[in-house]
Amino acid sequence: MRERLDSLKRLFYTAARLGVLGSVMLSAQVASAESVDGVQLPDGTKKVGERRFRSGQPFDKTLDYFRTIYPPSKYPRTSIVNQPGVRAIHISFPDGKKHAGLNVYEDRSQRREVRIYMVPAGRKSAEVADRKPKS
């Protein structure tokens, strides 16, 4: 019986197992983000009120996260406030049924908190015009 000493067969299977293990671990990290009402929020986000959250990351890292989840080409951004003590950006959801978008803002005071507000979808003006006042 001849044995192959140069066989890569065992190495191939070991590499394949490591590749599968690595991809599972990577997908677990990506999937660990919290989702609230269909809106994905960064890791470490804490709820502080109705539709209000505190991010566990700095402002720039929070925006980087939203840039990967909600690309600017599909979800336009506008600057809300440009004051010395506050930075704020609105991320629009063009086809938002529950939410019109997100407001991400940072208080630049001593606390440097980053907050996220989920803007509810507004009513259409036609719906409001069709309503009859109660008498």
Give the model confidence (pLDDT) of 62-81 as tens digits.
999 999 999 999 999 999 87
Rounded Cα distance between 20 and 29, Å, is 14
91 in a domain, yes or no? yes
108 in a domain, yes or no? yes
Rounded Cα distance between 103 and 99, Å, is 11
Rounded Cα distance between 110 and 114, Å, is 12
Number of domains in the chain: 1
Q: Give the CATH number for residue 121.
A: 3.30.160
pLDDT at 134: 47
SS3 74: coil
Q: Which residue has the tokens 């259409």?
A: 124
Picking from 118, 130, 110, 101, the residue whose alpha carbon sits closest to that of residue 45 is: 118
Q: Please, which pLDDT band fits residue 131 given cuts at 50, 70 and 90?
A: very low
Q: State yes or no: pLDDT of 43 exceeds 60.
A: yes
pLDDT, tens digit (0-9, with 9 covering 90-100), for 76-122: 999 987 788 888 999 999 887 888 999 999 987 767 899 999 998 87
pLDDT at 85: 84
124 in a domain, yes or no? yes
Question: Side chain identity at 107, as an amino acid letter?
Answer: D
Name the residue with higher pLDDT: 7 or 97. 97
Rounded Cα distance between 88 and 4, Å, is 65
25 in a domain, yes or no? no
pLDDT at 45: 92
15 in a domain, yes or no? no
2 in a domain, yes or no? no
87 in a domain, yes or no? yes
Is 132 buried (19+), middle (13-18) or exposed (0-12) by CB count in 10 A?
exposed
pLDDT at 2: 59
The radius of gyration of the chain from alpha carbons, rounded to an integer in Å, stands at 24
Q: Which domain covers residue 82, as residue numbers? A: 34-130
Question: Side chain identity at 24, as an amino acid letter?
Answer: V
79 in a domain, yes or no? yes
Picking from 65, 132, 77, the residue whose alpha carbon sits closest to that of residue 101 is: 77
Q: What pTM was computed for the model? A: 0.64
Name the residue with higher pLDDT: 135 or 109. 109
Helix (H) or strand (E) holding 70: none
